[in-house]
Structure formats: structure tokens, C-alpha cells
Chain A
Amino acid sequence: MNLLAQTTSTTTTTGVTFPTLVLTAMVWSAVVFALAAILMPNQTQDQLRRIKSLGSTGAGAALFFAIWAVETQASEALAGTGTTAAGVPGGDLHEQHGWLTSFPITSTYHLDADALALAVILMVSVVFFCASLAAWHNQRHVKLLTVCMLTLETASLGVFASYDWVLFLFFWTLAIAPVYVLVRAFGPGHRGRAATRYAATSLVSAGLLLLAAVLIAFQAGSHTFDMGSTPVTLPGDGETVAFWLVTAASLLAMAVVPLHGALLDLEEDSSGVLSAIFAAVLPTLGAYTLIHVAVGFFPTTSGSYSLFFATLAVVTVVWAGLAALRTDDLRRLIGYMGTVLMGLVLLGVAGHTTIAVTGIMYLLLARGLVVAVLMLLASLIQERSRRVHISQLGGLAWQAPFLSVFWLLATLAAAGVPLLAGFAGDFFIFTGSFPAHRWATTVVLAGTLLASGVLVWTAQRIFFGASRDTFARVRDLGPLELTYLGVLAALIVLIGVVPGHFGVLFQNGAGYILFPGPAG
């Protein structure tokens, strides 16, 4: 009956008090532009251009608010100011309003963001903005692509910013329909099968998460769907059951071996822009859920199963690394590289130290950017050369030097070369996990090197060697392509050069995830 019960954090500026709405603006701005796009006519080229502009503006608006949120927190973390430690929920970004307060289990419109969420929010909003620019040349289903992409962005950002189970599940499930429709619309080959497989997998994940949410809400005795209070303590086997439900759902979405088939199909059977989004964003939803919920809610239980995560990390990295070595399909190769990097995330979870979890945040940020660049480049290569298989390519650096530079940059970042974004994540994860799992860390390191070697070898096969007449008319990157790839590449370099900008923020967040509560 407590309909009007609500709490709202406020920001005070020069004596004026107003509610903090940065996360609300960030989450919903994309879908507001999607609604505007729905109402636009789409008959003439001018009208289609306006719809595309709306798409880029919507993604740009979300990016603006994402940068605002991240930079505010990162600056506060560096300066040591703010209402609470930056990177920990309950600070300046906290928003909470009454929603389903009459039901025996109450649910609120609760948005917040810890350091992990901020890391992936930054990555996702940048990827969507660049993807909206990359989609500018598309002439098929323009309105559908714009609306679905913006809806998917809102869904993804909503998952990361939700601190209420109902809201979290709402956004999680909201992502399914646009992905399904996009794959059906733009995918070549077995698109129907890929879309159905993905939708079924995601709905199973959502179902598992729903059961976990209900279990937690009842067994914790709080009768609330709020996700703000961690760690969660449940009587009997409840904690273990809830932990495994969340873990299973997360692993399904992360697409780690042996559950990687659906996502790889999706990446292979989608167009270039969509492959970039799917490869960068969708597994991140799972990784975020694994760390934020499975580890953050149940730090003790997750710590006790660290051997499981270490084993899974080894299997994932070795399997995906060997598969990458065997494959001749460019997109599938990048998909396997993404899976290898997810294996590193699992190793970080197994490490269960602040350093390892800090490394996961860096890695998720870098992984999304790198995989997005590689997927976008792969689609540009395929579009220009009309070739799908790596063995059919060669000598492209002569015709497309910028393209090869970007590819090499992304390859080196994926390999974890210093001064690029991938280094900090790899370094912290290996350092943080080595004391607990020496053998696993060594094998995963070897597997990562193998996959990185495959990527470098692939670069050599695609770009170097003698110039081929077949590809004489392949053109290099244009201004628009240089712009969006430049944005992604600049961020990869920037994070690599000044990783310390996020250092305190991520350490605060990692500490809170592993040691939650007031002290965290």
C-alpha cells in the first residue's frame, strides 16, 4: 500500500537541489530517439537520411550521458571526493523511485552504477555510437535497423544500470526482440536458425535469472527485488542454488565453451555492423551479470567454486585458441578471439582478488572496443574484396594501408601489448590469478598467446605479401570509416597510455564486489 514511498538521491549545485537523472537520461535517450524514428516517414532518400541522423543522435546522446557519468566518477575517484567512494553504488548516480510497492515483494525504479558497470557502459555506448555511424551506408530496412539498434542500446545500458531485479530482467529480455529481428533482417546464410537459437538461449537465461531473483527475494527475508544490498545471505542450500542459477544464465550469455555456438552463429550470420555490436555487447551482458550478481551477491560461494571457473577458463581459452587456428572464416576467427578474452574474464573470477577483478573491468572495456574494431574491419574487408575466407585474401596493405594499420592496432591490443587498452586487463588478471591458480594461469596465458599469434598471422596473410591483381580495385578507408574507427582506436590507445585514469575507480569497484558492505 506504500504507493508513494520513494527515495531519490539529489545533487546540490549552488544551493539548488535537483534529482540526479544522469543514468535515466543515458538509459532512455536512445529509445526516445527510436520512438521518434518510428514516427518518421521512410520513402525518400532524404527521409532515410533523417532517420539515420536520428539514430546517430540517439546513440550520441547516450554516449554523452555515459561519458558524463564515467568521467564524474573517475574524477571523484582520483580526487577522493564525492558522497561515497566513487565506483561504489549509492553515490551521486543513485536514483530510486517507487514502482511496484503494493506487491508482497516490492520493486523500485532503482538505477545506479558501480565501477564495473561504468566500464561496460562506456564501452557499449562508444560501440553503439560508432556502429550508428558505420550503418550510415546501409540502404536496406533503414528504419528497422535504426529502431532496433537504439532499442538494443537502451536494453544493454539498462541491464548495466539496473539495481532492481524486475528492472534488470526487463532490460535483459528487452534485448532479445531487436537482436532476433536484426539477425532475421540482415543475416546471410542460416539466419533463421541463428536468430532462433539466440532467442531460445537468451530466454532460458532470462528464465534462470528470474528464478534466482525470486529465490533471493524470498529466502533473504527482505521481500524486495532490490539489488542494492550485498552480500546476500540465504539459508540452507538457497545460496548455492541461486548462485548456480545466476552463473548458468551468465555463462550462457557469455558464450564460453561449450556454450559458445549460438553467439558464434549470430556473429557469422549477421551483417558487419551487427556482428560488431553482437560480439562486443552481448557476451558483456553475461560477463557483467556473472561478476556483478554471481560474485558480488555471493562472494564467499563464488570463491569456493574458483576451481570450476579456473577449469572453465582453461577449457575455453585452449578450445577457442585451437579453433581460431583451424578456422578459415574471418568473422568466426574474431568470434573465437572474443571467446578467448571471455576465458580471461573467467580466470579473473577464479582469481577472486581485487587485482583480478580490477583487471576484468579493464579487460571488458578493452575487449568490446577491440572486437568491435576487428568485426567492423572484417566486414569492410569482405565488402571490398568479396571474399569471406582468409585463405582467399592477401596483399591488401598495398591497396588499403589505413585498413591494415587499424587491423594491426586492434590485433596488438587484443594480444595485450603495452600502451594499448588490452595490456592493463591482461596484466592484472594474470597477476591477480596466479597465486591461486598457477597452472591454470599459465595455460590460459599460453592459450591467449596462441590466439594472439593466430590474429597476427592472419594479419600477415590478409595484408602482406605480394599485391594481387584481384584486389587492385579495393579502396582504402573513407572519411566516415576513418571517423568511427578513429574514435574506437583513439580510445584503445588512450586507455593503454593512461590506464591510471580509471585505476582508483576500478579498484574501489573491485573491492566493493569482493568485500561488499559498508567497509567495501
Chain B
Amino acid sequence: MSAPNGMAVFATMLPTLLLLVLAAVAGLLGWLRPGLPPSFHRWLGAEALVGAGAAALVAFHGVALTNGVGLAAYAAAVIADHFGTFAVLLLCATGLVAVLTSGAVQERLGSRLPAYHALVLTATAGGTVLAVQAEMGMLIVGLGIVVISLVGIVAVEKTAEAPGLAAFRSLVSAGVALALMLYGLAIVYGATGTTDLAAVRGQFVHSAPLEGLGLALTLLGLAYLVGAPPLHHWMLQVSAASTGAVAGAVVSLAVAAGGIALVRVMVSGFSATMHPWVVLAGVLGAAACLYPALLSVVAGSVRRLIGLGACLQGGLLLSALVGSGLGADGQSAGGVMAMLFALVVFVLAIQASFQAVGRLEADGIGGNMVGVRGLARRSPMTAALLSLGLAGLAGLPPLAGFLARILIASSAVAGGYAWVAVASVAASAIYAVTVLRWIAAAYVEDDELPVVAPAVPQLAGLVGAACAVFGVVATLVAGPLLYAADGAAFFLR
């Protein structure tokens, strides 16, 4: 990688800068010109996200990747490479879905809609920092921006008590997670004398228990964002308390940013070949898969079921980490590739599920089993989207979550952790049986309640449907998607 220079800084931070500036513009316009129509803020946010994605493509590919590897800036604290492009595009797509579906919560948010859009942009900007960081300081900065923005998004629904409470609890959980991570990184820094994540690898004494503790705490902190137990409660609370669109935005952005941070810190930074954290990731991943899957059996509402499904996806991402190093035969185990493929699929499945919840809210249908019964007759589109979303979270074919699970299990076995593969497959099976029960209730059982007229805004409905359909399309275009993931993972391996 070349030495730091102005062009490098510009190239690596351009998407972040663009998002932060336009977030500030959106916030200021909302404050100074409250009469502007909601659609203006929506399209401003959408343009910012599309612009950031385009900037990542152009800057990373056109400028930073001229040497074929990547470009570092700020004393190698940030790196522009193929992975960064992939990650920024994923984050921008996730943010775009959140912005375009904000019409569903327009009435509820009222004058706070510009603030909501601005917070989505800042959360995405924080994610882009995580996508390009390679140093502990930048990691904390990125995580801080993401977490504060996400808590803000939940809190912005302050007209209801439940979201406010969920936001407060999320803030407390985030504080605990960030504290754990800071302690962990401090221990790692103390042991190695460097904050450069890539340099940590060379300084590490594998057998030192204190360093293992540092890695464990760092991993726990990162597990918070992807909603993996034991710090998963915030995700369940947000799923239960916030409206569908807001919960979808928060949870999907958190999983996207968390997954990206996991790859940057654990794979690109600490390296997958370092023990004992690989075993730790396996244990945490297996537990994080099984625990929400078992809880889902007694889930009493769609929101909780989806929340637990999101936690399960977090557990699967952690499980993929064990296969991110080298296989027994010296070849790449493909864990990073599996993780990136899964990340795309999971994030959009989460969005699709919560958009279906948004439709349930718009239709005035409760999210418990009584409300879901006969949904296919009362609101066919909502039933179809809910089924696709849930099936995507459960990894049922023809949804791409099925392929993601096969890839994750394969890479876990390749990494020598067949038991992690068994746990992830078992958890997926348990969750799938539960999901089938809810889908069957929507299509089979019927309490003869009246048919409801669709009330969700057209754009939000279309975007929600696109997310659900993506699950099927991703199976067909899995080859190109994996090809892109391979390109992103190539220099990380």
C-alpha cells in the first residue's frame, strides 16, 4: 500500500464525508425549513446514499486501487480496498431501504422525519468508517457513530413510551458493549504495544491468557452490534417496541455494520489463524445460534420471532468466523466469503421481515398469532411478504438464506469446526419449524376476520417487496454475488 497523502485521505473518506455533510444538511433543513415536504427529505437522503455508494465505487476503484491492492491513509488507520467498496455498497443499500421506506412512519414521526433521515445517514457514515478502518481508534470512532445514531433512531419515535424505553435500554447495552470492547482493546494494546490491528497479529503471544481475555472482550463488544447473545436484548426490545420501518432500519444497519466490523477486526486485523479466539468465536457462535432458535419456539408475536431471527443471523455470522482462516489442506476455507454473502442476504431478509411488520401495522392487524391467522385472505400481499421474510430468516429454499447456511456450514467444517456447523444447522432447523407454524397460520387457519384495504405507502410497499424478492433472486445470482464477495475477501485472507 502507498504512503498517506491527500488523495488517499480523499479516496478513503469520501463516502463518509458525503454522508455526514448531507446528514448535517438534512438536519439543518428540517430545523430551519420545517415546511419542506417529507418526500424532499426522502429523496435527499436517497441521493446521499446513492452518491456515497457511487463515490465508493469510483474513488476506491478508480483512484485507490490503481496499485491493485488498496490505499492507506492516516498512518494506515484507514484502508480503501475491495472489501471497503463491498462494505460501503452494502451499507448504502441498507440505508437506502431505510430511507425509502420511511413513508410508513411519516405520520408517527411528524416533524422529526428529517432527523430520522439524518440519523440513518450518520449511522451509515459510521458504518463506512468501520468498513475502511484498520486501527483501534478509528474502530471506536466508527462504532460510536453507529451506536449513537441507532439509539437516536429508536429514540426519535418519542411519541410512544415503548420505543423510548427501548432506546434507553439500547443505550445502556451499547454502553456495556463499548466498555467491554474498550477494555479488550486496551488489553490487546497493552500486550502488543500497537493500536494498528494488522500489526497486532505479529506481536501476539498466543498462549497468554490476558491477551485471550482482550480478544474475548473485543469479540463480545462486536457481538453486541450483530445481536448475538449475550448482548442481544436490545435487538429484541427494538423489534418489539419500534414500528416496522424503524426496527428494520436499526436492526439491519446494526447487523450490516457489525458484520463488517467483525470482518475488519477479527479477520483482517487479528487474523483467523490466531487461537484461542477462533474457538471462542465458535462457542459464542454456536450458543448465539441455538439460544434464539430455542426461544423462537415459544415466541408469541411476529415481532419477537423476527427479532430472534435477527439474533440467529448474528450467531450465524459469528459461526462463519471459525472458517475464515485456512482449511486443513492449506486452502482458503471461504469463511469470509460465506460471511459476506450471508451478510448481504441476512440484512435484506431482516429488512423484508420488518417491512412486512410495517404492513401489518398499516393494515391495523396485530402481530400475534390471532392477528396472523388467515392473513393470506385478509391481506394477501402482507402475508406473502411476511412469509418470504420469515422464510429468508429461517433459510428455507428457494430463499438465499439456505445457500448462506450451506456456505457457512461448509467453511466451518473446512476450518475444523464441524460442531459449529452442527449447531448452526440445528438452530436453523428449529427456527425453520417455528417459522413454518406461523406461515401455515397465515395461509391455512382463518378466523373469518374482515379483509383489509392496503394502507402502506406505495414506495415503502415496493421497496419492502423488492427486499423480499431479492431473497429469491439472490439464489439465482448467487454466482455473481459470491464472485463479488470473493473479490472483497481476497486481500483479507
- Interface residue B403 (Cβ < 8 Å from any Cβ of A): yes
What separation, in Å, do the CA atoms of A64 and B396 have in the docked complex?
29
Closest chain A residue to B433, Cβ basis: A199
Given the known interface contacts A102-B479, A177-B439, A223-B331, the answer about A169 and B337 at a Cβ–Cβ threshold of 8 Å is no
- Interface residue A210 (Cβ < 8 Å from any Cβ of B): yes
What separation, in Å, do the CA atoms of A207 and B329 have in the docked complex?
24
B412, chain A: closest CB distance, angstroms: 9
- Interface residue A389 (Cβ < 8 Å from any Cβ of B): no
Given the known interface contacts A100-B482, A102-B479, the answer about A173 and B440 at a Cβ–Cβ threshold of 8 Å is no
Q: Scoring A residues 210 to 241 as 1 if CB is less than 8 Å from chain B, else 0, what string do you get?
A: 11001101100101000000000000000000
- Interface residue A135 (Cβ < 8 Å from any Cβ of B): no
A102 engages B406 (CB within 8 Å): no
A207 engages B425 (CB within 8 Å): yes
Given the known interface contacts A103-B338, A177-B396, the answer about A144 and B443 at a Cβ–Cβ threshold of 8 Å is yes
Q: Which residues of the partner chain A approach B480 to less than 8 Å between Cβ atoms?
A: 3
Which stretch, B147-155, B231-239, B414-422, touches the partner chain A? B414-422
- Interface residue B407 (Cβ < 8 Å from any Cβ of A): yes
A207 engages B332 (CB within 8 Å): no
Which stretch, A179-187, A415-423, A435-443, A457-465, touches the partner chain B? A179-187
Among A137-185, those with CB < 8 Å from B are 141, 144, 166, 169-171, 173-174, 176-177, 180-181, 184-185
- Interface residue B426 (Cβ < 8 Å from any Cβ of A): yes
A185 engages B444 (CB within 8 Å): yes
- Interface residue A482 (Cβ < 8 Å from any Cβ of B): no
Of the residues A98, A104, A169, A195, contact of B414 by C-beta under 8 Å: A104
Closest chain B residue to A207, Cβ basis: B425
Q: Which residues of the partner chain A approach B397 to less than 8 Å between Cβ atoms?
A: 170-171, 173-174
B429 engages A204 (CB within 8 Å): yes
B406 engages A210 (CB within 8 Å): yes
A167, chain B: closest CB distance, angstroms: 10
B425 engages A211 (CB within 8 Å): yes
Q: Interface size (B, Cβ < 8 Å)?
A: 45
- Interface residue A96 (Cβ < 8 Å from any Cβ of B): no
- Interface residue A366 (Cβ < 8 Å from any Cβ of B): no
B327 engages A218 (CB within 8 Å): yes
- Interface residue B136 (Cβ < 8 Å from any Cβ of A): no
Q: Which residues of the partner chain A approach B445 to less than 8 Å between Cβ atoms?
A: 184
B396 engages A173 (CB within 8 Å): yes
- Interface residue B457 (Cβ < 8 Å from any Cβ of A): no
B316, chain A: closest CB distance, angstroms: 14
B479 engages A3 (CB within 8 Å): yes
B331 engages A174 (CB within 8 Å): no
Interface of B is mostly: helix
Closest chain A residue to B481, Cβ basis: A102
- Interface residue B436 (Cβ < 8 Å from any Cβ of A): yes
Given the known interface contacts A100-B478, A103-B407, the answer about A170 and B402 at a Cβ–Cβ threshold of 8 Å is yes
Of the residues B376, B396, B413, B479, contact of A101 by C-beta under 8 Å: B479
Closest chain B residue to A3, Cβ basis: B483
What separation, in Å, do the CA atoms of A170 and B402 have in the docked complex?
8
Interface of A is mostly: helix
- Interface residue A206 (Cβ < 8 Å from any Cβ of B): yes
Closest chain A residue to B435, Cβ basis: A177
Q: Which residues of the partner chain B approach A141 to less than 8 Å between Cβ atoms?
A: 443-444
- Interface residue B8 (Cβ < 8 Å from any Cβ of A): no
Q: How many CB-defined contacts (below 8 Å) exist between A and B?
A: 125
A203 engages B432 (CB within 8 Å): yes
What separation, in Å, do the CA atoms of A77 and B333 have in the docked complex?
43
- Interface residue B142 (Cβ < 8 Å from any Cβ of A): no
B227, chain A: closest CB distance, angstroms: 23
Q: Scoring B residues 391 to 415 as 1 if CB is less than 8 Å from chain A, else 0, what string do you get?
A: 1000011100011001101110110
Q: Which residues of the partner chain A approach B333 to less than 8 Å between Cβ atoms?
A: 104
Of the residues B410, B440, B485, B486, contact of A217 by C-beta under 8 Å: B410
- Interface residue A99 (Cβ < 8 Å from any Cβ of B): yes
What separation, in Å, do the CA atoms of A231 and B178 have in the docked complex?
53
Q: Which residues of the partner chain A approach B443 to less than 8 Å between Cβ atoms?
A: 141, 144, 181, 185
Given the known interface contacts A102-B482, A221-B329, the answer about A207 and B338 at a Cβ–Cβ threshold of 8 Å is no
Given the known interface contacts A3-B480, A181-B436, the answer about A104 and B426 at a Cβ–Cβ threshold of 8 Å is no
Q: Which residues of the partner chain B approach A166 to less than 8 Å between Cβ atoms?
A: 403, 406
Of the residues B329, B337, B413, B429, contact of A206 by C-beta under 8 Å: B429
A422, chain B: closest CB distance, angstroms: 34
Q: Scoring A residues 185 to 205 as 1 if CB is less than 8 Å from chain B, else 0, what string do you get?
A: 100000010011001100110
Q: Which residues of the partner chain B approach A1 to less than 8 Å between Cβ atoms?
A: 483, 486
Closest chain A residue to B341, Cβ basis: A103
B479 engages A99 (CB within 8 Å): yes
A402, chain B: closest CB distance, angstroms: 34
Q: Which residues of the partner chain B approach A223 to less than 8 Å between Cβ atoms?
A: 331
Closest chain A residue to B405, Cβ basis: A210
- Interface residue B437 (Cβ < 8 Å from any Cβ of A): yes
Of the residues B398, B410, B411, B485, contact of A102 by C-beta under 8 Å: B485
Of the residues A103, A210, A221, contact of B337 by C-beta under 8 Å: A103
Q: Which residues of the partner chain B approach A177 to less than 8 Å between Cβ atoms?
A: 391, 396, 436, 439
- Interface residue A325 (Cβ < 8 Å from any Cβ of B): no
- Interface residue A105 (Cβ < 8 Å from any Cβ of B): yes
Of the residues B376, B410, B437, contact of A105 by C-beta under 8 Å: B410
What separation, in Å, do the CA atoms of A419 and B275 have in the docked complex?
68
Of the residues A104, A171, A180, contact of B334 by C-beta under 8 Å: A104
Q: Which residues of the partner chain A approach B396 to less than 8 Å between Cβ atoms?
A: 173-174, 176-177
B4, chain A: closest CB distance, angstroms: 31
Given the known interface contacts A100-B478, A169-B406, A195-B440, the answer about A211 and B433 at a Cβ–Cβ threshold of 8 Å is no
B436 engages A173 (CB within 8 Å): no
Q: Scoring B residues 321 to 336 as 1 if CB is less than 8 Å from chain A, else 0, what string do you get?
A: 0000001110111100
Of the residues A100, A104, A196, A211, contact of B403 by C-beta under 8 Å: A100
What separation, in Å, do the CA atoms of A203 and B396 have in the docked complex?
10
A307, chain B: closest CB distance, angstroms: 29
**Could you say which of B403, B406, B407, B483 has the most chain A C-beta atoms within 10 Å of its C-beta?**
B406
What separation, in Å, do the CA atoms of A207 and B432 have in the docked complex?
12
A104 engages B425 (CB within 8 Å): no
B331 engages A104 (CB within 8 Å): yes
**Could you say which of A199, A204, A221 has the most chain B C-beta atoms within 10 Å of its C-beta?**
A199
Q: Scoring A residues 409 to 451 as 1 if CB is less than 8 Å from chain B, else 0, what string do you get?
A: 0000000000000000000000000000000000000000000
Q: Which residues of the partner chain B approach A206 to less than 8 Å between Cβ atoms?
A: 429
A184 engages B402 (CB within 8 Å): no
A173 engages B327 (CB within 8 Å): no
B1, chain A: closest CB distance, angstroms: 22
Of the residues A102, A199, A215, contact of B413 by C-beta under 8 Å: A215
What separation, in Å, do the CA atoms of A174 and B397 have in the docked complex?
5
B425 engages A210 (CB within 8 Å): yes
Q: Which residues of the partner chain A approach B411 to less than 8 Å between Cβ atoms?
A: 104
Of the residues B376, B398, B403, B414, contact of A218 by C-beta under 8 Å: B414
**Could you say which of B331, B411, B433, B482 has the most chain A C-beta atoms within 10 Å of its C-beta?**
B433
Closest chain A residue to B431, Cβ basis: A203
What separation, in Å, do the CA atoms of A25 and B334 have in the docked complex?
33
B484, chain A: closest CB distance, angstroms: 9
What separation, in Å, do the CA atoms of A467 and B180 have in the docked complex?
83
Q: Which residues of the partner chain B approach A210 to less than 8 Å between Cβ atoms?
A: 406, 409, 425
A102 engages B327 (CB within 8 Å): no
In the complex, 28 of the A-B residue pairs with CB atoms within 8 angstroms, ordered by the A residue number, are: A1-B483, A3-B483, A100-B478, A101-B483, A102-B337, A102-B485, A103-B337, A103-B486, A104-B331, A104-B333, A104-B334, A104-B337, A105-B410, A141-B443, A144-B444, A170-B403, A177-B436, A177-B439, A181-B444, A199-B432, A200-B433, A203-B429, A203-B432, A210-B409, A210-B425, A211-B425, A217-B410, A221-B329
Taking A185-B440, A218-B413 as known contacts, 11 extra A-B pairs with beta carbons closer than 8 A to each other, sorted by chain A number, are A1-B483, A103-B334, A104-B331, A144-B444, A166-B406, A176-B432, A181-B439, A200-B433, A204-B429, A210-B425, A218-B328
Chain B interface (Cβ < 8 Å from any Cβ of A): 327-329, 331-334, 337-338, 376, 391, 396-398, 402-403, 406-407, 409-411, 413-414, 418, 421-422, 425-426, 429, 432-433, 436-437, 439-440, 443-445, 478-480, 482-483, 485-486
